[in-house]
């Protein structure tokens, strides 16, 4: 087995053959070992919720319906954060898309299964003194004679980078 695709858990035999085919198909895209592990974990998390304790290796594709997935994801959401639910939903969407394109299921049910919207995050702002220092550096460069615009741009970028590093170092010390 190629490096990075080993099965760290001993549950591979308890998964259906069509899931193994899905992993083989994804393997051609060279995903990391972490991605493959996430696929297995996300599959197990949801499949065990609607398999009612039955062995997953015999799980029929007919069990993958909008209703079973909605119920399983609702139960999964009770104990998991939005980011985990989103990742799991994405895994199942990729799996169901694969099964649909391989003509193993009639349609992908995942668009009908709700998923959480993640809060949008904004990038961290630079400290005010770093911005002021960058503008001051730019203004000081404009008063000095230089040969061309490229030199001004290069000097400005160096000053901004230095100011940012200094700001990061200062904030790390506080």
pLDDT, position 62: 92
The radius of gyration computed from the CA coordinates of the chain, to the nearest angstrom, equals 26
- What does the CA dihedral 21, 76, 88, 39 come to, rounded to 10 degrees? -40
Total number of residues shown for the chain: 174
Check residue 108 and give its pLDDT.
Answer: 95
Give the CATH fold of the 12-112 domain. Answer: DNA polymerase; domain 1 (1.10.150)
Per-residue pLDDT of the chain (174 residues; tens, 9 = 90+): 333 334 445 445 589 999 999 999 998 999 999 999 999 999 999 999 988 778 888 888 999 999 999 999 999 999 999 999 999 999 999 999 999 999 999 999 999 999 888 777 778 877 878 777 777 777 776 655 555 667 777 777 788 888 777 777 666 665
Residue 163's pLDDT is 76
Distance CA 174, CA 172 (A): 6
Task: Give me the residue spans of the domains in the chain.
Answer: 12-112, 128-173
Tokens of 26: 């994804």
pLDDT value, residue 122: 75
**Predicted local confidence at residue 33, as pLDDT:** 93
What pLDDT score does 14 carry?
86
Q: 83 — phi, psi (to 5°)?
A: -65, -40
């Amino acid at each position: 087995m190629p490096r990075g695709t080993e099965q760290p858990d001993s549950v591979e035999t308890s998964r259906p053959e069509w899931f193994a085919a899905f992993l083989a198909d994804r393997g051609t895209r060279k995903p990391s070992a972490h991605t493959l592990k996430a696929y297995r974990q996300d599959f197990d998390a949801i499949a065990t919720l609607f398999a009612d304790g039955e062995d997953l290796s015999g799980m029929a594709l007919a069990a993958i319906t909008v209703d079973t997935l909605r119920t399983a994801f609702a139960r999964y959401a009770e104990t998991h954060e939005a980011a985990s639910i989103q990742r799991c939903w994405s895994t199942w969407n990729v799996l169901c898309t694969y099964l649909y394109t391989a003509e193993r299921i009639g349609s992908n049910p995942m668009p009908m299964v709700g998923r959480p919207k993640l809060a949008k995050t904004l990038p961290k702002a630079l400290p005010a003194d770093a911005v002021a220092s960058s503008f001051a550096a730019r203004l000081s460069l404009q008063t000095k004679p230089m040969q061309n615009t490229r030199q001004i741009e290069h000097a400005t970028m160096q000053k901004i980078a230095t100011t940012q590093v200094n700001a990061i170092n200062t904030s790390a010390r506080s």
